[in-house]
Structure 1
């Protein structure tokens, strides 16, 4: 993480839950502290013969409710502190949706767009060699995140199996041919769309014809756009790291989705032949729309641009896309925010379902997977809504109260 990148913001949300739940200082310290922190260096010889040394990390935050679970990120702006915040966030997410996992996060400070597939495979298999003694189906289960994908998981599966035998459950979101689950690729975006539909109904927004802007058009943003369009919403703007496209009458989401699916990770939205005028990411965030969905990186909405947000509702498809100060500004503006630990939990739910299938050595059809995803996410939504209405707080505050309470109870029941 570069020095200019804001710290992952969840501490104030966590402290708020501690205060309401009257958790004592020692328990607060225990809940915050990572169980294990791992850092290492990975040297590889690039295709041109030069030597590069990359830094890698894995933060295993909490396993009181089950094995550590969390993504593997390849991005130049990451470090140990960055992953500490994201690992903790995964703990609250798995607790909120009530699946038997804890939280972890890790990755390598590299830019995968600057590496060939062969170089990425070598880097990934060396990472697995560094971690194989502290990961596994009952210890720590990895999944894709920014800069990684099912192919990355296949490489980890292969490298891990050379030492431990065939263990498909060591990673999730694998290719279908290697034990991946039906519906996993679309799961996070599907979950975002489901939660958005329930929240829109609660906030008095008619989803049929509602205008939606989505910042980030990777896997999550693409599928969220697809499913929301299927629900009748009008996707007026989407963007990637290089900029976005806008059409006040609605983008052709089907064409955009199809074109994006056929391109590689180095292709920009600007290169896709879809009708729409260009706009930058800052302009997208300030569009006058019904629903704004930040689905890119952390800290997209800050205290500097929060006052320019004109959406009626925000749904956090990315992890921590809103800084703490911006959260307060949006609250003062009366803009409801559906928190990341609920909105984007579809991915980890189906990762859990994939893990279950791998342990059973049995594959479910996509209809069953999608049914289980929706049922699990709906229970979490109902729990948040009930807590919010009971205690007159925000969606985020209600979500954190539920998650922290469940982790605390698990720690106390297991003992010290």
Structure 2
């Protein structure tokens, strides 16, 4: 593949130079072929496992490159960053490696494991605000007040070039790649990869959570456009406005950005855990979510798993949500006669159906219930959508009045 091509604020030469700096700092993360996703896409699909990178995500690449190029005076003043977690850990680790003092502003809702990990790498963590953008405002103010150098999570050429080394590794590991699917928040990773593959026939496609989708409208408008509200489990890509530097790169390369639902994000996280035995965070699974949601791509395709730093409590909720979205949980309301043994009869039918009862509760106060009736809310673990249908059919045939919740 040819390596010449158009030039923007970051191009192949800048990414190649970044790779030299990072050679002894970052891990060359493995690629893993996914037979399940390959069958879904109709061609070979490979996972690029940046969830296995140092500090749990790709962020160490851009953070270290940016900080390694600071002057002695700048290093002496220290650095400041804003992040929901992954960039925070990348900056904290890079600062420790380079002997630089680091302060990181994180939203109040940042996960406790990410906060703890950032502190353990040696950074001072300051909590405040609701979103990454709120934290970034406070980080900028801190930089103005103290002289600390702001290490932006995505909007700097060095950060973009550092993240682009993921793209160089992909070209070496999967030489015949035709499509690279990349989670997109501020756009640094997608822009870096797009710069790395400039001049080739590889298409880079960004994937963003529909509940925090600033990129589609921005690309349509021809300039970054902020969103007014965000709501997504994928906190790592919940960024209110694209960065100027990433936008310039992705716009010049004509890289499209698609969106995925919360249901597909949770199903993707569950899919990666079950099929590939990998732990990723919701943002890291965005590319997988796009394929699960039906996106058609040219293969061989590489899906970047951008991070694996997930709060165990969020993992529990997301797995449950993913199981429900995949038809593995059946929630029903079943009306029975309010008499001894009636509930036992219902549970016996469920056991005979092969369903595993997870939760049961009684409702006796609904206004449409008869005086001798009780409604049972029951959650059943099943083998999938077809089994759900079988369970409902069996209960109905046994005389139970079933309503799926």
Task: Normalising by structure 2, report the TM-score.
Answer: 0.33
Task: Normalising by structure 1, report the TM-score.
Answer: 0.32
